[in-house]
Amino acid sequence: MERPNQNEGPRQGGAGGVIGELRRLSGLTWDQLGRLLGVSRRSLHFWASGKAMTPTNEEHLHRVLATIRKIDRGTAATNRAALLAASKDGEFPLDLLADGQYDRVVAVVGAGGAPERPALKPLSQAAWDARKPPPPEELVNALQDSVHREIGRPRAARSVKVRGAG
């Protein structure tokens, strides 16, 4: 299975993959991402787990991710610092992004210089087989014996008195 490069789309399907990649690239907290997208942190968690979102919110989410990819500086910490730092005009890129001024954010912060992540080749079948964990019986050197039971006269169940709290 071939992985997409960073400019093609999220690594996982759906909004959950987009939100995950946005968190990894931006370094923002759930609260900051919620403020950025104009929703509560709870809504963001719902979307990340696969719940449906409105087309307007989905479009804004994808545009925010595209903008973060443009200004990517290589690490989440430097990207976060760039988003939270005030410009000479006193504008905060995070607030501009929340307002939907995507091009203005790129103009204020500047395009990032993060190196392109290399596209990974898919693993061969031999590599997949080599990475499989050994079966449990090899790990613990266990035998497939049946459970031993003591043979004898079965005991009748005993009733238990529950003492009242009082």
65-74, 78-87, 155-164, range with the lowest pLDDT: 155-164
Please report where in the chains the tokens 């959950």 appear, as a residue. Answer: 16
Q: Residue 132 has what DSSP assignment?
A: S
Please, which residues have CB within 8 angstroms of residue 13's CB and are 6 or more apart in sequence?
Answer: none
Residue 7 confidence class, pLDDT cut points 50, 70, 90: very low
What is the C-alpha separation between 63 and 66, in angstroms, rounded? Answer: 5
- Tell whether the torsion through CA atoms of 131, 133, 138 and 140 is positive or negative: positive
Residue 6 has pLDDT above 50, yes or no: no
Please tell me the predicted confidence (pLDDT) of residue 152: 64
pLDDT by residue (tens digit) across 80-96? 888 888 888 888 888 88
Over residues 7-30, the mean pLDDT reads: 75
Whole-number mean pLDDT of the chain?
A: 79
